[in-house]
Amino acid sequence: MPRLHWEDFSPGQVIECGSRLLTRAEIVAFAAEYDPQPMHLDEAAARATLFGGLVASGWHSCCVLMRMLSDDFLRDASFMGAPGVEEVKWLAPVRPGENLKVRATVLESRLSPSRPNTGMVKFLFELTGAAGTRLMTLTASLVFERAGNPVMVAADRSAPRPT
Amino acid sequence: MPRLHWEDFSPGQVIECGSRLLTRAEIVAFAAEYDPQPMHLDEAAARATLFGGLVASGWHSCCVLMRMLSDDFLRDASFMGAPGVEEVKWLAPVRPGENLKVRATVLESRLSPSRPNTGMVKFLFELTGAAGTRLMTLTASLVFERAGNPVMVAADRSAPRPT
């Protein structure tokens, strides 16, 4: 049973989500599958781009962030998905061997107008590298079940949205 | 050499980007790596969620869209990356076996104030399924080299940003 529900998140709250090393092999494998641009695929080709060397796909950063959240507080939470993403900013290149960290800050919290047993929590997620350099920011509202309100299973299949 | 440069994109222009079948195996493999929530991993577990069955991670939809763009007009273009994403809306679940299509519409085009040999093109990307149902919309500005203006290689490593 989840320990964290909608009520457990309040504006101003900050959650530090551990760390993850991103390897060159992971960067290249992701790019080959989803974002096959020269700067993500091959060191020599990447040197001839504005990045001057291999950098992770920005989408890879988003996916790694999602995994870091999933391995941290989301695994203990009544997390139900999200209607989308409000903004992503790729602030600086993510290089091979970067030790990534994520800081989640609660910006807003509100009940769902359409699903009284759920609420939305708007987060600012900051992906940082060595020395705390901000590499990416991402703003999104996540849906959580309220405490003591079991989700109505498949009660309404018209509205749900994926993570 | 790229055929398409910044000058080749103008507001109102629409590009249809082929199609791609998304399989159950791909959905589960992506989720296991990046977004391990029950609704993306396992059919039985997914039936107990609001989605009533397995759905692709929204991040998977973003990544597949990026790949579809890369296999279509971006492979012929002087594409240099993007500073971020302005908005993603996950409008409806992406189910296994969905035949995805992407429509790219140019919303705006402007020269870069800081890099005179490049320009930004703001796109609305629409991911659709069977019968043209809109499953996701994504708005982002992409950077392209201008025609006849070779990119200055590694001239400034402070500003570049990944895709």
Checking if the pLDDT of A156 tops 50, the result is no
**pLDDT of B119-128, one tens digit each?**
999 999 999 9
Average pLDDT over residues A146-161: 56
Q: For residue B47, which phi and psi values (nearest 5 degrees)?
A: -65, -25
The pLDDT assigned to A115 comes to 87
pLDDT in tens, A85-124: 999 999 999 999 999 999 999 999 999 888 889 999 999 9
How remote is the C-alpha of B43 from its chain's centroid?
27
Query: Of A51, A138, A66, A126, which is closest to residue A96 (Cα–Cα)?
Result: A51
Average pLDDT of chain B is 91
| Cβ pair B9, B121 in contact under 8 A | yes
Tell me the average pLDDT across A51-76: 97
CA–CA dist B157, A53 (Å, integer): 10
Report pLDDT for A26. 98
What pLDDT is attached to residue A126? 98
What is the pLDDT confidence band of residue B8, given thresholds at 50, 70 and 90? very high
Task: Give me the residue from B64, B88, B155 closest to A84, CB to CB.
Answer: B88
- Cα separation, A150 vs A147, in Å, equals 8
- Asked if residue B96 lies in contact with residue B23, where contact means CB atoms within 8 angstroms, the answer is yes
Closest listed residue to residue B141, CA positions, set B73, B76, B85, B88:
B85
Tell me if residue A11 falls in helix, strand or coil. Answer: coil
Mean pLDDT of A72-95: 97
A113's CB contacts (< 8 A; 6+ apart) are: none
Residue A47 has a pLDDT of: 94
Answer whether A162 touches B (CB < 8 Å).
yes
User: Residues A40-54: pLDDT tens digits?
Assistant: 999 999 998 889 999
Confidence of residue A131 (pLDDT cuts 50, 70, 90): confident
What residue of A is the nearest CA neighbor of B35?
A67
With CB atoms and an 8 Å threshold, state whether B80 touches A35.
no
For residue B124, the Cα-to-chain-centroid distance in whole angstroms is: 10
Residue environment code for B21-54, b if the CB has 16+ CB neighbours within 10 A, otherwise e: ebeeebbbebbebbbbbbbbbeeeebeebbbbeb
Out of A57, A64, A66, closest to residue B163 by CB = A57
Largest Cα–Cα distance of chain B, in whole Å? 57
Instruction: Assign B69 to helix, strand or coil.
Output: helix
Left, alpha or beta for A86 (phi > 0: left; psi -120 to 50: alpha)? Answer: alpha
Region A72-90 average pLDDT: 96
For residue B89, the tally of other CB atoms under 10 A from its CB is 17
CA–CA gap between residue A48 and residue A41 (Å, rounded): 12
A86 and B87 within 8 Å at the Cβ level: the answer is yes
Q: What is the pLDDT of residue B149?
A: 65
- Reading the block at residue B154, the tokens are 């590694």
Alpha-carbon Rg of chain B, whole angstroms? 18
User: A64 and chain B: CB distance < 8 Å anywhere?
Assistant: yes
Q: Which residue of B has its CA nearest to A30?
A: B63
Q: Tell whether B93 is within 8 A of chain A (Cβ).
A: yes
**If 0-12 CB within 10 Å is exposed, 13-18 middle and 19+ buried, where does residue A1 land?**
exposed
How large is the ipTM? 0.91
Which one, of A162, A146, A150, A149, lies nearest residue A109 by Cα? Answer: A146
Q: Tell me the pLDDT of chain A averaged across its residues.
A: 91
What mean pLDDT is predicted for residues A135-149? 94
Evaluate the CA torsion angle A42, A46, A47, A53 in order and state its sign.
negative
Instruction: Express each pLDDT in B49-101 by its tens digit.
Output: 889 999 999 999 999 999 999 999 999 999 999 999 999 999 999 999 999 99
Q: Which runs of consecutive H residues, i.e. helices, occur in A35-163?
A: 38-41, 43-47, 58-71
Measured between CA atoms, the residue of chain B closest to residue A71 is B36
State pLDDT tens for residues A12-48. Answer: 999 999 899 999 999 999 999 999 999 999 999 999 8
Q: Fill in the amino acid letter for A29.
A: A
